[in-house]
Amino acid sequence: MSFIAFFDLLSILVTFFSIILLLWKWKQTSYPDIRYLLLGLLSLSFFYYLFLFLEWSGISGSYEKTEDLMGALIPMIWAFIFYTFLQLSAKKDLQDSEEKYRQLIQNSGDIIFLYYQNRFEVVNQKFEEIFNLTIDDLNQPGFNFKQLLSPKSYSELEKLLKKTEQKNKQSYISNLIVLDAKGEEVDVEVSVNYVDYKEGRALQGIMRDLTDRKRLEEQLRQSQKMEAIGQLAGGVAHDFNNILTIINGYSEILLNLKLPAALKNPVQEIRSAGLRASRLTSQLLAFSRKQIIQPRPLNINDILRDQIKMLGRLLGEDVEISATFDPTLRPVKADPGQIEQIIMNIVINARDAMPDGGKLTIETKNVEFENSYAKENPYVIAGKYSMLSFTDTGIGMDSVTRSRIFEPFYTTKGRDKGTGLGLSTVYGIVTQNGGFINVYSEIQQGAVFKIYLPSEERRLKQRKTKISDESGLKGHETILLVEDDPSVRAVTTSTLKQYGYKVIAASNGEEALRIYEERKGKFSLLLTDVVMPLMNGRELAEKLTEKNSELKVLYFSGYTDDSVVRHGILSEGKQFIQKPYSHTELVTKVRLAIDK
């Protein structure tokens, strides 16, 4: 057998097995349209190489004409197959591209549609979700595009279409209001333009749901509003606190004098009004979160008793308020202003949940959680807690609302009826103080808020011992008082002198330095305002303590936390008292600062 005959035999075998493989994988071929062409080509090649083998091996005679015909057909068929393959490949790429485009449209978060000759040609999945309409529903006889819109947007739509018609393929954007499947209004941003389609032009539109954007914008406005309120409250509070310091201070001085009954009662009323105004300032700052935060051991019962009358007025006559205080309630370490803020926010929330009246029950109780409970509830640390509970008979909450009530800006009260910050502020204060909140509620079954704060029993007892003995507040030490407001300076001087202290007053830091040098530093305490012209209280204290490291310092201010923190006064180890203060509060702080 010659080499050529052997090569032809090998070609016959390869072609034969190729035919077998093609038939075996017939249904799995990627391009089914060229299967028959390929089968024909392989069959033709099989007989072509067979004739060549028979001729070169000498088994049979010449098939020259047949071989020439087959040899001419084979490359032609190959060329046709290759051309067909290219066509099919391009078609498949186009189909893949169209499928990707279709998936992109269908899975888009925006509403997309194509409108041609009063028919919807394309609508995506988001369109069907919002309007609960399929493309067949949209193309029912009598259906009008305007049925998707709120009547408020009819004129705006006409303007938009007119602009788009005039500018042909240029896109135009406008805000419209559409009606969803429930008939509720949804704000959308619409972009429309004309595109070439079939034998004419089609209107292509993209609608973007603005609900989330508007909610974020509303949250930003609410946040800015709260910040503005805070700044306003802080600005008013400084002057107001100075005025209240003067009113409360002089009324206390008068009450300590032996006044006739005809004068004593009016002075007591002045004093009472001043204290109410002080609480009002504190509540205003608590609302705007600008109050000075000074955690200390306190009893929640005492704060509740002070606020109970005001809470009754806040709830209104159609809401009954009932309070049960545990007389053995353990103290907690917290800022009094923050506890007041918790109470106010929860009570306001309860009031809004009882629009037709009802009952609010407030209760305090000692609670202790074991390790087993803490293991089941990771947010709880085992130990002793003081519980503050609020139970209302209001409209209640479902599980979805209950799971979101502590989210900032979340509110169920509707537009312009709530900030959504009340309960989130409560949650922040409680967790900041190492506590936690449990909420129980069902629809039309009212709600129960149970607040747990860690107990601090021994610290409160020590504090009570220090301030309970009035005689222990008196002294004979010399105090350097620095205050730029002359009226506040005068009433503070009078108060301290009543308790036996010697007071030298200065109106600013430079004058205080001069007095200190003249008296050769014979002072036990520097009592200074924080914010003053020329030299602030911290700078003055640093200069004087450099001269005398034994000099004690007590700061006071009518400003809010922003100014006090900025001047570094609330850092560890610094003594501070917030205006307005009572005589007892002032001399207690003075005594503690000197004895420290």
pLDDT in tens, 175-188: 899 988 888 888 99
Q: In what order do the strands lie in the sheet with 383-392?
A: 319-324, 358-369, 383-392, 447-454, 436-441
| Tally of CA atoms within 13 A in the half-sphere of 181 that contains its CB | 10
Higher pLDDT, 115 or 106: 115
Lowest-confidence segment of 94-103, 237-246, 491-500 by average pLDDT: 94-103
Query: What does DSSP say about strands 319-324 and 358-369: parallel, antiparallel, or unpaired?
Result: parallel
pLDDT value, residue 414: 55
pLDDT value, residue 461: 47
Mean per-residue pLDDT over the chain, rounded: 81
- Reply yes or no on whether the pLDDT at 460 is more than 60: no
Inter-CA distances, 406 with 279, 409, 412, 415, 592, Å: 27, 9, 12, 18, 39
For 437, the 3-state DSSP assignment is strand
Q: Which of 569, 574, 549, 551 has its CA nearest to residue 559?
A: 569
- Reply yes or no on whether the pLDDT at 308 is more than 50: yes
What residues does each domain of the chain span?
3-104, 111-209, 293-460, 468-595
Lowest-confidence segment of 13-22, 244-253, 448-457, 497-506 by average pLDDT: 13-22
Instruction: Give me 567's structure tokens.
Output: 């001047």
Q: How confident is the model at residue 468 (pLDDT cuts 50, 70, 90)?
A: very low
CB within 8 Å of 500: residues ≥ 6 apart: 474, 475, 476
pLDDT value, residue 292: 59
Q: How confident is the model at residue 465 (pLDDT cuts 50, 70, 90)?
A: very low
Domain 293-460 belongs to what topology? Heat Shock Protein 90 (3.30.565)
Q: Which of 347, 337, 324 has its CA nearest to residue 295?
A: 337
CATH class of 111-209: alpha beta
Q: How confident is the model at residue 469 (pLDDT cuts 50, 70, 90)?
A: low
Range with the largest mean pLDDT of 24-33, 77-86, 234-243: 234-243
Q: How confident is the model at residue 467 (pLDDT cuts 50, 70, 90)?
A: very low
pLDDT value, residue 276: 82
Lowest-confidence segment of 239-243, 278-282, 531-535 by average pLDDT: 278-282
Give the Cα separation of 335 and 295 in Å (integer): 4
- Reply yes or no on whether the pLDDT at 481 is more than 90: yes
Phi, psi (rounded to 5 degrees) for 461: -60, -40
For 66, the 3-state DSSP assignment is helix
Give the Cα separation of 387 and 454 in Å (integer): 9
Range with the largest mean pLDDT of 6-10, 129-133, 162-166, 281-285: 129-133
Instruction: Give me 14's structure tokens.
Output: 């390869």
Predicted TM-score (pTM) of this structure: 0.48
- Reply yes or no on whether the pLDDT at 452 is more than 90: yes
Inter-CA distances, 496 with 241, 467, 520, Å: 19, 16, 22
pLDDT value, residue 496: 94
Domain 468-595 belongs to what topology? Rossmann fold (3.40.50)
User: H-type helices in 331-384, by residue range?
Assistant: 336-352, 371-376
Establish whether domains 111-209 and 293-460 are of one fold.
Answer: no
